[in-house]
Structures are given as structure tokens and as C-alpha cells.
């Protein structure tokens, strides 16, 4: 029994070595062409080259190809505010709700950039306005926090939920007051939100509402707006 085991070991080792060194199968020419076209599509979208976006799609690129961070071409174009490239992708049927590894979508990032032009470019694709980012927020919330007045004015016309509460316990109105500085843009956003039905009485996770936050920060004009 011992002799048989010793004789067998070299054979097993050799077999294992063969298994480890077996060459990986070569990709087909079609796979190489498609991979190259996908890379061209992503690069064109990130660079804002609408003509090259169309050329890459015509060459066989996958419309929903992803980069290393799971971003699609439409998300790359949206994040960089390349409107014409985004329009080309939307016309081809690109998904405005495709999530990346940070839980962003092409639509969600418009609330961060505040681009009304990109918002308009994506609306024909019928984005899901209820998809949330990694903080549990919808696009109107970061837009309100960042003072994107024109974006907020336009997005409230889409039927987006202005009273949505994110994971931090904040609505768009609360973020406008708590994370803003009380200046004219934030005052205008407060007017827009309340006119669109934003509730002043929704409290944060500590039960403090937007009006009380404005009072504590001595944002006099915001207090007036929210007291009406």
C-alpha cells in the first residue's frame, strides 16, 4: 500500500501542474471587436463625442456596456453633462435607471450636477423618479442641498415626490435649510418646494422640522418663507 501511494504522488503532481498551466481559451474575433467597440463607446460618452458614440454603437458596442465602476455610457455622459452624447444614447434606447457600484443612475446624478439640459435630455427615456441613491434620496434632495435653483424649479414639475425622506431623515426642504447657508438661492428653493407641496412640518430623525432649523440658524428670510 505504501509503495503504491509513493508511485502515485508524482503522477498526481504532474496532473495538477498540467491543470494549473493549461492556457486560457483565446477570445473569438467577435468578442475582441465587441470589447473594443464597448471601450470606444464608454470613452466617447465620457468625452462627450456624440458622433463617436453613434459610431461605436454602429460597430456593435453594447448599449449598456459597463466600465470598472459599473457605469454605463449614459451615466458617464450624464455625470460630465455631455448633453448631445446623452441624447444620442437615449435615442438608441439607453437605460436612465442603470445603477453603478455607488448606487447612482444617469437620472440621479442630474440632481448632483443640477443640469436642467441633462434633465430634459433624459426625460424622454422615462426615468424612474423613485429610485434612490446610496443615501436613500431622490434627485430633488441633492439638488436642494447644493442650491440648484433652476433644476429644482424644473424637477418639481415632473411629479417627483418633494416630501421623500432619505436615510438621514431629511426631505429636500430640510436639506435646503440644514445644509444650505440661508442665502438667496436657498430662499428661492424653499419657495419653490413649498409651492410644490413640500411639507414644513416633517421632522428629521430628532423630530426637528425645517422651520425650527431655520430659526436655530437665524435664517430670517427662510423663517418668513416657511411660516407662511
Same domain flag for 184 and 92: no
CA–CA separation, 181 and 106 (whole Å): 28
By CB neighbour count within 10 A (0-12 exposed, 13-18 middle, 19+ buried), where does 226 fall? Answer: buried
Residue by residue, what is the 3-state secondary structure of 169-180? CCCHHHHHHHCC
The confidence score (pLDDT) of residue 14 equals 44
Residue 183 lies in a domain: yes
Largest CA distance in the chain: 95
Same domain? For 109 and 160 the reply is no
The pLDDT of residue 40: 96
Domain final residue pick, 128, 143, 174? 128
| Cα separation, 13 vs 147, whole angstroms | 66
Domain end call among 105, 128, 151: 128
In a domain, 26, yes or no: no
Domain count, the chain: 2
On whether both 92 and 135 belong to a single domain, the answer is: no
Residue 113 lies in a domain: yes
Res 127: pLDDT: 98
On whether residue 16 sits in a domain, the answer given is no
CA distance 12 to 221: 81
Confirm if 176 and 144 have CB atoms less than 8 A apart. Answer: yes
Per-residue pLDDT at 25: 55
Question: Are residues 153 and 188 located together in one domain of the fold?
Answer: yes
Strand partners, 209: 203
pLDDT at position 35 is 74
What is the Cα–Cα distance from 147 to 179, expressed in whole angstroms? 10
3-state SS, residue 209:
strand
Are residues 228 and 135 located together in one domain of the fold?
Answer: yes
Per-residue confidence (pLDDT) for residue 196, from 0 to 100 = 98
Supply the range of the domain harboring residue 205. Answer: 129-228
Same-domain check for residues 133 and 107: no
**Looking at the domain assignment, is residue 6 inside a domain?**
no
**Are residues 99 and 86 located together in one domain of the fold?**
yes
Q: Is the dihedral of CA 106, 111, 112, 115 positive or negative?
A: positive
Is residue 8 assigned to a domain? no
Q: What is the CATH number of the domain that holds 93?
A: 1.25.40.20
Are 101 and 155 in a shared domain? Answer: no
- Residue 25 resides in a domain: no
Q: What is the spatial distance between Cα 215 and Cα 178, in angstroms, rounded to a whole number?
A: 11
- Whether residue 95 is contained in a domain is answered as yes
Per-residue pLDDT 10s for the chain (228 aa) are 444 444 344 434 444 444 454 455 555 545 444 579 999 999 999 999 999 999 999 999 999 999 999 999 999 999 999 999 999 999 999 999 999 999 999 999 999 999 999 999 999 999 999 999 999 999 999 999 999 999 999 999 999 999 999 999 999 999 999 999 999 999 999 999 999 999 999 999 999 999 999 999 999 999 999 998
Contact 127, 105 (CB under 8 A): yes
Say if residue 113 is in the same domain as residue 193. Answer: no
Residue 146 and residue 102 share a domain? no
**Domain boundary at 128, 159, 181, which?**
128
Cβ contact 162:195 at 8 Å: no
Co-location of 110 and 157 in the same domain: no
Which residues are CB-neighbours of 55 under 8 A, at least 6 positions away? Answer: 40, 44
Half-sphere exposure of 177 (CA within 13 A, CB side): 32
Amino acid at each position: 500500500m505504501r509503495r503504491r501511494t509513493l508511485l502515485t504522488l508524482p503522477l498526481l503532481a504532474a496532473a495538477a501542474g498540467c491543470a494549473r498551466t493549461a492556457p486560457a481559451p483565446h477570445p473569438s474575433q467577435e468578442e475582441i471587436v465587441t470589447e473594443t467597440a464597448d471601450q470606444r463607446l464608454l470613452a466617447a460618452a465620457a468625452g462627450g463625442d456624440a458622433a463617436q458614440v453613434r459610431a461605436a454603437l454602429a460597430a456593435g458596442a453594447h448599449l449598456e456596456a459597463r466600465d470598472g465602476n459599473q457605469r454605463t455610457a449614459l451615466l458617464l455622459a450624464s455625470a460630465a453633462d455631455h448633453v448631445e452624447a446623452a441624447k444620442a444614447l437615449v435615442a438608441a434606447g439607453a437605460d436612465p435607471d442603470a445603477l453603478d457600484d455607488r448606487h447612482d443612475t444617469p437620472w440621479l446624478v442630474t440632481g448632483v450636477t443640477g443640469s436642467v439640459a441633462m434633465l430634459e435630455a433624459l426625460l424622454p427615456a422615462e426615468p424612474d423618479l423613485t429610485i434612490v441613491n446610496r443615501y436613500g434620496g431622490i434627485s430633488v434632495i441633492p439638488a436642494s442641498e447644493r442650491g440648484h435653483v433652476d433644476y429644482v424649479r424644473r424637477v418639481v414639475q415632473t411629479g417627483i415626490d418633494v416630501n421623500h425622506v432619505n436615510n438621514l431623515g431629511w426631505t429636500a426642504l430640510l436639506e435646503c435649510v440644514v445644509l444650505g447657508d440661508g442665502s438667496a438661492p436657498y430662499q428661492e428653493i424653499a419657495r419653490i418646494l413649498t409651492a410644490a407641496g413640500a411639507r414644513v412640518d416633517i421632522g428629521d430623525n430628532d423630530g426637528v422640522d425645517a422651520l425650527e432649523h431655520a430659526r436655530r440658524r437665524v435664517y430670517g428670510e427662510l423663517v418668513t418663507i416657511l411660516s407662511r
